Amino acid sequence: MEVKVINNIVVKSWVNDLDEHGKQEVRNLCQLPFIHHHLALMPDAHGGKGMPIGGVLATKGVVVPNAVGVDIGCGMCAVKTNIRVADIEEAVLRKQILRGIRKQIPLGRDHHKHQQDEKYMPQGFDTDSMQVVSRQLTSAMKQVGTLGGGNHFIELQRDDEGWLWIMIHSGSRNLGKQVGDFYNEKAEKLNRRWFSSVPSEIKLPFLPLRTDEFRQYWAEMEYCVAFALCNRSLMMERICQVIGDTIAGVEFEPMINIAHNYAKWENHFGGNCIVHRKGATSAREGEVGIIPGSQGTCSYITEGLGNPESFMSSSHGAGRRLSRTAARNELSLEEEIARLEKAGVIHAIRYKEDLDEAAGAYKNIDEVMAAQADLVRIRTRLSPVAVIKG
């Protein structure tokens, strides 16, 4: 961990190679007058929008929508099976399991043609009182159980003992984006009206505690976090059904789940604060987490060490090394495909536009894990078998 002081704000960093865009965002964050104790940067940190992805921001009495991001509740889930990968014939894997998953789960921008049952949606929320969610519910009921695009994926993996695992990375789909954009714009307007001391150009407008806008955002954010979990859970249920219909006697362990775009009330360094994790996960002592690698590299099931200096947080993945544009311009399609095929991975790299999700676009996951040895310990290493992308 490296410690710096910027504008009288302490920055504690586990990242070795933060890009210039990310460094500027750190300087911008250090202008905020409501930071609680210090700012933390995880080892996968890189430039985002307003705040680096891989950043942990604790605040006193305000929530910052852009420090949560627009894919609210985005996260990971994973399930272990009692099936050995070596016992699955490749034809069965390709023609029955992978095809079956693609038939059950819309990918990219695709949605279900019909609304899904209400039982798959978050329960116990007063959605009628929510400005954005109430308008988006019909669409959301067609989006629950869908993967999305970008860096979202479904991956079949094997652990070091040969057992088959299922891993999913997905979030709140368009619902989270609508909520995030709506309240960020509302915060911008309110900050101008209040003559806020936070410069508008740094794109970090805030909503103060005890305002109606804070309460409205908080309720809709929590709904999006719950919706993202419902989304992952439904996909996992249907993937398990596909595998169960294909392989006799398969059993599934309870699902592991962890989110990495949200804000939450917590107590750190002697005070209650709002911890924003944007591309960072909770890593309390003993807490089970998931840290995926890039396409074709290992992923990890982890256990939190509860390090207070990171606000008990860890990285959410490998973290981008190249922007999407840079990846397409700088990486070799042939080399990236050869790397995956040498490893025997059924992959999703076909065309030049796929290079923004190639392994070469991301940091080395093993270096990221080594950099956070004081934040998490590795419980299980998972190697990729087959990847489905949006």
Q: Which of 152, 260, 316, 347 is catalytic?
A: 316
- Strand, coil or helix: 357: helix
**26 closest CA partner among 48, 2, 1:** 48
111 is catalytic: no
Q: Token pair for residue 36? A: 């609680």
DSSP string, 19-67: -HHHHHHHHHHTT-TTEEEEEEEEEEEEEEESEEEEEEEEESSEE-GGG
Task: Pick the closest to residue 339 from 322, 307, 361 (CA basis).
Answer: 361
Which backbone phi and psi does 207 adopt, to 5 degrees? -120, 120
- What's the per-residue H, E or C state across 97-147? HHHHHHHHCCCCCCCCCCCCCHHHCCCCCCHHHCCCHHHHHHHHHHHCCCC
H helix or E strand, kind and range, residue 380: strand 376-389
Which tokens go with 204?
């970090």
What is the Cα–Cα distance from 388 to 152, expressed in whole angstroms? 9
Q: Which residues are catalytic, by number?
A: 316
